[in-house]
Amino acid sequence: MNTYHTHGRKIVHAETFGDAARIFATRMAHAEYGRRGDCRTCRVESYSKDGSRVEFSAFIGRTRGNCSTGHNVMFTVYSESK
């Protein structure tokens, strides 16, 4: 397990940057939308050449029936393991 952090959130232990990003995005969704908040998509936007950080965009929100509401967030995940 590697250790990752992003601004304003507690560190996480995950296998990859992508796993950590999904955890951070889900935490953001829960903070804004409550327990039913969720991360719908999470993708890499850019990364550093040395592999120490990756920038992600994610759609966080809430689904009711067939309709999803929410918005995009961008955040950078930093590795403490390298």
Q: Domain span at residue 34?
A: 2-79
Domains of the chain: total:
1
Q: Please report the pLDDT score of residue 55 as a whole number.
A: 98
Low-confidence ranges of the chain (pLDDT < 50): none
DSSP code per residue over the chain: -EEEE-TTS--EEESSHHHHHHHHHHHHHHHHH-TT-EEEEEEEEEE-TTSSEEEEEEEEEEEETTEEEEEEEEEEEEES--
Q: Please report the pLDDT score of residue 81 as a whole number.
A: 60
